[in-house]
Amino acid sequence: MISGIQYNRPMSSIITRRRLLGVGILVIATPRAQRALAANGVQKFPDVVAVKVQARGANRFDFDVTVSSPYDSAERYADAFRVLGKDGTVYGERELLHDHAGEQPFTRDLHGVNIPSGIRSVTVQARDQKFGYGGKFREILLPGR
């Protein structure tokens, strides 16, 4: 629920949620729009190609996330990834401070992510420096849940 409006969209259509002047905004992109970009040879967003997760305590998890960003450059690159719940709650985010042009795909970790006990799975998305979150994501079952 964002700003009193409930969105009944599957996670596959959610690209990003941002804050603008204190108001939550949800930007939706259909799979059709993403296919159209891909058909034109344009990869607008980085893709999450693999995720490994390990339990590190009752509600703490470590993530190793592999991201593919073939258009990578110093001017525009995959600059973050996040772990979020089906309701859009962000449990953890790792910002990337430089491009990975010489290392594609690349893997980075995010340790100590606290996820409430009732959550059985999470989604991992990657962010582009210019366009935000989107692209292929991974839904991951949490070990031990």
Give pTM, 2 decimals: 0.70
- Say how far apart CA 132 and CA 42 lie, in whole Å: 15
Of the candidates 59, 132, 121, which has an alpha carbon nearest to the alpha carbon of residue 87? Answer: 121
Burial pattern 96-120, b for ≥16 Cβ within 10 A else e, equals beebbeeeebbeeebeebebeeeee
- 137 pLDDT band (50/70/90 cuts)? very high
Domain boundaries, the chain: 44-141
Tell me which architecture the domain covering 44-141 has in CATH. Answer: Sandwich (2.60)
CA distances from 45 to 2, 35, 57, 79, 145 (A): 24, 12, 33, 11, 31
- Phi–psi pair at 98, nearest 5 degrees: -150, 170
Asked if residue 105 has a cis previous peptide bond (ω within 30° of 0), the answer is yes
For 32-77, what is each residue's pLDDT tens digit? 554 554 555 667 889 999 999 999 988 999 999 999 987 766 778 8
